């Protein structure tokens, strides 16, 4: 049916309902999931262990005017988490400091030297965000220096927790079921819950008598950006965070966020995919190949000129990052042939930039369908390697890396199910690869055997219209754990096929109903799919499957298809 020519009453609701049901929503929960609101999904923060203690300590700092430092991480989740707490404390009348470690010089997580130095500079309270859950030695040094530390994290926790005065993390092994159900939250989501708990604590003391409470909802643009960029699963509370955060982002109230949107050359309100592919990479570029504090500085500034300058700098760094990434990816892919029998791909090389190995691991995972770990050998002064891994659904890489560290294969390591980081001694990469093969071989085999291309809708070419795209998008936001609808379109014949950009295959196709449209298979030119579309589709009819999108670059508003797969029609 051509939706552009008018739809029967209720068709939109029926289609959205079917999409929700296909993602595991029960019929009695459809309306709540159709419009995910914070009111419907936000839990009582007190269900999390140490949350009340953390909120009380942070409220005490506000009431007594203490010096507080927020210790963040250099990625998007760390930057948004730090910016959220800094903006909260500023709204509460307590300007705070921040500390973001240098990726290359200091590595991930808090170091004892840095915490002691922060204490010596006058801070009586440090809040670590997106890090700290495994920093036993560093937090022990902070305790000995007499400074209180609150840890706000979401990474896997060991059974023995570091000596913080409060450790808020839904992935603590001792969490109750209700709290553990929120283990998919990014750190910025946990930080938002701490903000809610802190404001509630201050309200109970009468702090807001005669003064306005901070607008916590205005912080949701930060939560949305950090959640999507950290590839957190978009179900439950995270869907509400992102859905409402996108609305806040569209209002452009955060000066730095508005500058970031402009630097990304977006001429409309950002969508969920823009957070992951346009805004997030620019924030990440500062920590990967530039100055680690740029992201936080951008997201907390109130100066439009400063914001524009930082956003432009991040865009330049992002271009530099892309060039470095391409070099490392090319070198890593040269090792793939020697590892085709491995369940987990472990690729290592001298001179690889540690700032891009996580991105390259993600690219390798996408290309091969297997978990991938990419290691920059000799990345520190001691000659140790720095590694980053990305996993596939059903394979908990973070837990495996923690287990490898506990068995002495790694100097440091941790993460969550889909991503992990590690430090490894020289000459140990092959031993790690063998161990991961034994540890995760069965899980990878099972996960890959269960992979299939699931379709939500099959339509004739004329049905691929902007109105259909809008209807499908209304069941979003989509992302990890809540996949965007996949549409099959056909039968089709090829009008034109060529390669554009970085190995993208661009198609013009026409259906038997006379309708034609553009389709793009990203980074597919050298793949079996890309070669089939470029050379095998000239004389054959076929179907395309992928995500329906609005073509933002066209002079007229039209739909296009981002291709995941193709099948011959005969």
pLDDT of residue 13: 55
pLDDT of residue 238: 97
Distance CA 437, CA 443 (A): 10
Q: What is the pLDDT along the chain (570 residues), one digit of tens a residue?
A: 333 333 444 444 589 999 999 999 999 999 999 999 999 999 999 999 999 999 999 999 999 999 999 999 989 999 999 999 999 999 999 999 999 998 777 877 899 999 999 999 999 999 999 999 999 999 999 999 999 999 999 998 888 999 999 999 999 999 999 999 999 999 999 999 999 999 999 999 999 999 999 999 999 999 999 999 998 999 999 999 999 999 999 999 999 999 999 999 998 999 999 999 999 999 999 888 878 999 999 999 999 999 999 999 999 999 999 999 999 999 999 999 888 889 999 999 999 999 899 999 999 998 898 999 999 999 888 899 999 999 998 899 999 999 999 999 999 998 888 899 999 999 999 999 999 999 999 999 998 887 778 899 999 999 999 999 999 998 989 988 898 999 999 999 999 999 998 889 999 999 999 999 999 999 899 888 999 999 988 889 999 999 999 987 767 889 999 999 999 997
Distance CA 360, CA 380 (A): 19
Distance CA 546, CA 520 (A): 9
What are the start and end residues of each CATH 3.10.310.30 domain in the chain? 334-449
What are the start and end residues of each CATH 2.40.50.460 domain in the chain? 453-568
How would CATH label the architecture of 40-316? Alpha-Beta Complex (3.90)
Distance CA 234, CA 375 (A): 29
**Nearest Cα to Cα of residue 180 among 49, 344, 68, 376:** 49
Cis status of the peptide bond prior to 439, with omega within 30 of 0 = no
What are the start and end residues of each CATH 3.90.1640.30 domain in the chain? 40-316
Q: How many residues does the chain have?
A: 570
Q: What is the CATH number of domain 334-449?
A: 3.10.310.30
pLDDT of residue 337: 87
Cis status of the peptide bond prior to 33, with omega within 30 of 0 = no
- Token couple for 37: 């609101």
Distance CA 186, CA 238 (A): 8
453-568 folds as OB fold (Dihydrolipoamide Acetyltransferase, E2P) (2.40.50)
pLDDT of residue 1: 30
Exposure b/e, 84-98, CB count within 10 A at least 16 = b: bbbbbbebbebebbb
pLDDT of residue 71: 97
State the pTM of this model.
0.86
């Amino acid at each position: 049916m051509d939706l552009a020519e008018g739809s029967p009453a209720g068709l939109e609701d029926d289609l959205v309902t079917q999409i929700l049901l296909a993602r595991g929503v029960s019929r009695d929960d459809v309306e709540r999931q159709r419009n995910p609101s914070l009111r419907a999904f936000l839990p009582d923060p007190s269900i999390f262990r140490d949350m009340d203690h953390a909120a009380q300590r942070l409220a005490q700092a506000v009431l007594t005017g203490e010096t507080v430092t927020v210790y963040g991480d250099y990625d998007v989740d760390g930057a948004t988490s730090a910016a959220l707490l800094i903006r909260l404390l500023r709204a509460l009348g307590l300007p705070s400091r921040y500390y973001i470690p240098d990726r290359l010089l200091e590595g991930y997580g808090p170091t004892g030297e840095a915490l002691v130095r922060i204490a010596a500079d006058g801070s009586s309270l440090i809040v670590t965000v997106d890090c700290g859950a495994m920093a036993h030695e560093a937090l022990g040094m902070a305790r000995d220096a007499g400074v209180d530390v609150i840890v706000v994290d979401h990474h896997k926790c060991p059974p023995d927790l570091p000596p913080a005065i409060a450790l808020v993390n839904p992935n603590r092994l001792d969490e109750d079921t209700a709290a553990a159900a929120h283990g998919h939250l990014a750190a910025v989501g946990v930080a938002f819950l701490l903000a809610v708990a802190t404001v509630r604590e201050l309200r109970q003391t009468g702090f807001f008598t005669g003064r306005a409470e901070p607008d916590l909802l205005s912080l949701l643009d930060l939560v949305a950006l950090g959640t999507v960029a950290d590839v957190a699963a978009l179900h439950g509370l995270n869907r509400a965070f992102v859905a409402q955060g996108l609305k806040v982002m569209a209002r452009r109230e955060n000066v730095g966020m508005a500058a970031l949107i402009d630097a990304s050359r977006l001429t409309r309100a950002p969508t969920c995919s823009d957070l992951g592919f346009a805004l997030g990479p620019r924030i990440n570029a500062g920590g990967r190949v530039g100055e680690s504090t740029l992201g936080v500085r951008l997201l907390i500034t109130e100066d439009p000129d400063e914001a524009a300058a930082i956003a432009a700098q991040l865009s330049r760094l992002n271009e530099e990052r892309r060039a470095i990434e391409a070099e490392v990816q090319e070198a890593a892919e040269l090792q793939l042939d020697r590892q085709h029998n491995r369940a987990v791909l472990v690729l290592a090389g001298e001179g690889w930039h540690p700032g891009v190995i996580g991105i390259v691991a993600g690219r390798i995972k996408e290309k091969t369908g297997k978990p991938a770990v990419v290691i920059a050998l000799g990345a520190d002064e001691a000659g140790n390697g720095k590694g980053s891994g990305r996993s596939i659904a059903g394979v908990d890489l973070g837990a495996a890396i923690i287990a490898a560290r506990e068995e002495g294969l790694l100097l440091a390591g941790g993460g969550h199910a889909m991503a992990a980081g590690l430090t490894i001694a020289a000459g140990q990469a092959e031993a790690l690869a063998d161990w991961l093969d034994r540890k995760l071989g069965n899980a990878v085999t099972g996960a890959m055997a269960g992979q299939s291309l699931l379709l939500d809708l099959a339509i004739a070419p004329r049905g691929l219209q902007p109105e259909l795209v809008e209807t499908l998008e209304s069941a979003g936001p989509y992302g990890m754990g809540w996949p965007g609808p996949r549409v099959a379109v056909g039968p089709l014949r090829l009008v034109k096929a060529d390669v554009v950009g970085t190995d993208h295959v661009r198609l013009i196709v026409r259906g038997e109903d006379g309708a034609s449209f553009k389709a793009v298979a990203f980074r597919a030119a050298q793949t079996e799919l890309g070669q089939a579309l470029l050379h095998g589709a000239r004389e054959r009819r076929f179907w395309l499957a992928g995500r329906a999108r609005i073509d933002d670059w066209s002079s007229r508003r039209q739909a296009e298809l981002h291709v995941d797969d193709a099948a011959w029609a005969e």
